[in-house]
Amino acid sequence: MEIFNLLEEEWDAAIILDACRYDSFRSVYNEYLEGGELEKRIGATCTTHWLRSVFGEGAYRDIVYVSGNPWVNSLTAWDGFKPGEKFKEIRDVWEEAWDEQLETVPPSPVTEAAMEARREHPNDRLIIHYLQPHYPYLTNTIPEEIKMYFDGVDGRDRESKNYILSSLSRHVNQSFEKILGRSSFWKLRKYFGIKMKSVEEYLWRTYSVRELRDLYEKNLRRVLSEVKKLLDNLDGQLVVTSDHGEAFGEQGDFFHPCGTKNPAVRQVPYWRSTDRRDDRCEP
């Protein structure tokens, strides 16, 4: 399935809601966003897949990227992809606003950074990347030993004393997940009493599908409240979309395994506002 290319669309500010399903967004967006048009698009399978697909070629010097997601950072290249060379500027919100208890970046610091970026760069395009509705969920507490991993992105797991060992362990686990299937692999680990390390496995073991969907929707509503606040302070053509969706048991998938063809993961929203031009682009 070919991923829709955000760069081929017309917009002044593009808001990325990480891991936002099309159907979940469609069911609640009217409570937060006024007017506009909603379409279903084909997204990626994970954030790194999306970044490579959309921004893999060229540099985009008219875009300021406000990033709550450590994969989009000004500090570190990963697997040959160099985010810091792609954009006019990256605002590393994740570096200062990462909440160690929640294991994520709450949405409000991203909103504040986006409004500051607009004031400082009135004539450039903005991409504002919120981590929500992506897990971990803002209404529950993650045990201290359960971590989000970013495979060496500066500021996160690279600082761990056991980085090399833990990275190797994750790669081995991911290989078994691909061979056995994620749910089957987690069932096997649970049967043998192997301790949980990843947020995904913790959530899968701890909550029912209905509970996961409820937590996910609360995350979505929380971030849409911030999006509404942000849109009230921006002019021009505005869009809200996602890099990928999220699965909750559909076709045996949970969350967003890279490479999946699952529609729950691949179908994402694309909402565009009624164009609200101001004078900032006038000579």
Predicted local confidence at residue 17, as pLDDT: 98
SS3 15: strand
Confidence category of residue 155, pLDDT binned at 50, 70, 90: low
% of the chain residues with pLDDT over 90: 67
> How far from the centroid of its chain's Cα atoms is residue 244's Cα?
8
* Annotated domain spans of the chain: 6-272
> Is 50 exceeded by the pLDDT of residue 279?
no
> Is 50 exceeded by the pLDDT of residue 186?
yes
Q: How far apart are CA 148 and CA 31, in angstroms?
A: 31
Most distant pair of Cα atoms in the chain: their distance? 67
Predicted local confidence at residue 89, as pLDDT: 98
User: Is residue 261 packed enough to be buried (19+ CB in 10 Å), middle (13-18) or exposed (0-12)?
Assistant: exposed
Q: Which two tokens stand for residue 238?
A: 């505005």
Q: How far apart are CA 279 and CA 283, in angstroms?
A: 9
Predicted local confidence at residue 283, as pLDDT: 39
Contact 36, 274 (CB under 8 A): yes
State the DSSP H helix or E strand holding residue 38, giving kind and residue range, or none if neither.
strand 37-42
Could you tell me the pTM of the whole model?
Answer: 0.90
Closest Cα partner for 32 from 221, 250, 178? Answer: 221
- The fold adopted by the segment(s) 6-272 is Alkaline Phosphatase, subunit A (3.40.720)
Predicted local confidence at residue 195, as pLDDT: 84
267-272/37-42 β-pairing: antiparallel
For residue 240, what are the contacts with CB-CB under 8 A and spacing of at least 6? 14, 15, 17, 29, 33, 227, 269, 270, 271
- The percent helix, strand, coil of the chain (3-state, each to 5) is 40, 20, 40
pLDDT in tens, 40-98: 999 999 999 999 999 999 999 999 999 999 999 998 888 889 999 999 999 999 999 99
